Structure 1
């Protein structure tokens, strides 16, 4: 008697087991409530975005319109082994309509431990959308329209985290807060740590173009932020280079965040690459000293120090 072969593990199967809820078959748009959302829903601690920016963590939907990415950053928790290569691109209306349902599905196991009023807020009336789950959101061709739909309710806020490699899309989007990742100071360090797919020099030039747009975005009423992920042994010794780029770009906020030994990054880096909080504080203080910024706040649990531009 022949034995049936077990079905091969697909990228989406593996990611679904990790808590990703996909909006539609053939698409990689997905929702995954983060650890902090679940904790806050149960009445516990909120994430640093609540502390820094006033976000109600239990009402935050962590999602992505696409899992495709044009970088292979060493420190990223996502799996390069389970890469989404092709997909059906959903309309902004399809994605926006599905988000509350997907959020409820992802939080369903927490309902018995949650205050009913907070549960209803989290699953029926989320007010914060973080396009930061995984992948590069600016690869989604209808990102401006999706953000506009999500912001149609004046109570809603939308945070977008981008690697800045597609400045033409950065110019078009209107989120509440725009993060640009800045993890290198020149093209050689960018190629080493972010491992772009494509011409490193051209992509680094695009990142510079996106950084140069931040002052314009702020004039449009968009809060701007640069996020540095500090990886010990890779980008933790060039405070002057980061300060120069930050001074030129002029974001309102700079988040200096330590690499965390999580997910698939553990296949590329070791615990030796994790900076402690004192290292992050020292790095952030030196960057602030070298440009027009002050230390605004910190969150040790998330290993992040927030700088704010001096008025």
Structure 2
């Protein structure tokens, strides 16, 4: 089965040649006033106003902890224009939202507001920096009054120098080269590129965040090593999150590889102490902790 077929089976909607959108679990819960995702707790992103999408379903890493079918390669034949991707995503988002109108539990005001999303999480599947028109895509979303997150694996530092999202997220899933090659299984040794991207983040004056996804027995070690890399990037925030035993990752990792929340908190405190940061917040349901330079967090929206 091809990557596109596998993604469709999982509820992804393919846009054009290489983009995708999928309604987040928390979007539906937010519309029914049943809570919001940890990004809402940390950064003020309202889940029912968030559009989760990607401009590139292909990826240059095959991370053990990824819940997507990363084993299946995807070759892009031609690149769609940013306008085409945005219009396609907004059309599908509105179609998702319309289905909640007849549900009694739906907050009708939230439902009406949700037809005009205010945030784009460019983080769904694949590696967005492989899309050659990412800078233009972000700019066009901004012209629509939408804030943007870009979540990247940090393997394209040349792209990170050019893009200007509301917040730039970079995954940091290893404290050293050997662990990186094991945990992220890249198409080539891209560890030097990851380090270059940390340097790029350190030179930016816009909002930056690093995210550590912890896998017991793989990369949940050496908090001082992570701290040294964090100091290179000097991000505003560091998210320390448990690997979740979901999707296709269950074929690669045992359930025991998923840390408990108290283990995440303990590791986050060690990373914070070693890097000069402070614990700012945590969300037990998502097994995630947030550390920041001053122990505070400023809402994005």
Normalising to structure 2: TM-score of the pair?
A: 0.94
Q: Which residue of 2 aligns with 1:174?
A: 164
Q: Which residue of 2 aligns with 1:279?
A: 263
CA distances 1:187-239 after superposition (whole Å, capped 9, x unpaired): 111101000102x1xx111111111111322x2xx210000000001111211
SS class of match (1:255): strand
Q: CA deviation at 1:108?
A: 4.3
Corresponding residue number in structure 2 for 1:300: 284
1:80 CA displacement? 2.5
Matches within 5 A, 1:239-250: 239-250=223-234
**Moved beyond 3 Å, runs of 4+:** 106-109
* Aligned residues of 1:292 and 1:310 also touching (Cα < 8 A): no
Question: Counterpart in 2 of 1:132?
Answer: 123
Judge conservation of contact 1:19–1:106 (CA < 8 Å) in 2. Answer: no
Deviation at 1:118, TM superposition (A): 1.5
1:164 aligns with 2:154: yes
Q: Report the RMSD for the aligned CA atoms in angstroms.
A: 1.4
Comparing 172-181 and 11-20, the one that deviates more: 11-20
Q: How far has the Cα of 1:83 moved from its partner?
A: 3.4
Deviation at 1:309, TM superposition (A): 1.1
- 1:112 maps onto 2:102 in alignment: yes
The residue aligned with 2:133 is 142
Whole-Å separation in 1 of the counterparts to 2:250 and 2:96: 25
Residue 76 in structure 1 maps to residue 63 in structure 2: no
Structure 1: runs of 5 or more not aligned: 1-8
Counterpart in 2 of 1:185? 175
Residue 66 of structure 1 corresponds to 56
* 1:146-201 deviation digits (Å, cap 9, x = unpaired): 00000113x42100000010100000000000011001111111101000102x1x
Alignment check: 8 A CA contact 2:97 2:111 kept? no
What are the within-5 Å matches in structure 2 for residues 1-311 of structure 1?
9-24=1-16, 27-113=17-103, 114-123=106-115, 125-153=116-144, 155-198=145-188, 200=189, 203-217=190-204, 219=205, 222-310=206-294
Contact 2:211–2:238 at 8 Å: present in 1 too?
A: yes
Per the alignment, do residues 84 and 108 of structure 1 end up closer, same or farther by CA in structure 2, a change over 3 Å counting? farther
Structure 1 residue 22, shift from structure 2 partner: 1.3
Distance 1:14 1:193 in 2: 23
Contact 2:23 2:51 in 1 (8 A): yes
Structure 1 Cα separation of the partners of residues 72 and 271 of structure 2 = 36
**Alpha carbons 2:21, 2:53 under 8 Å: kept:** yes
CA distance in 1, matches of 2:61, 2:13: 23
Contact map agreement 2:61 2:185 (CA 8 A) in 1: yes
Moved more, 254-263 or 182-191: 182-191
2:211 aligns to what SS in structure 1?
A: strand
Contact 1:71 1:196 in 2 (8 A): yes
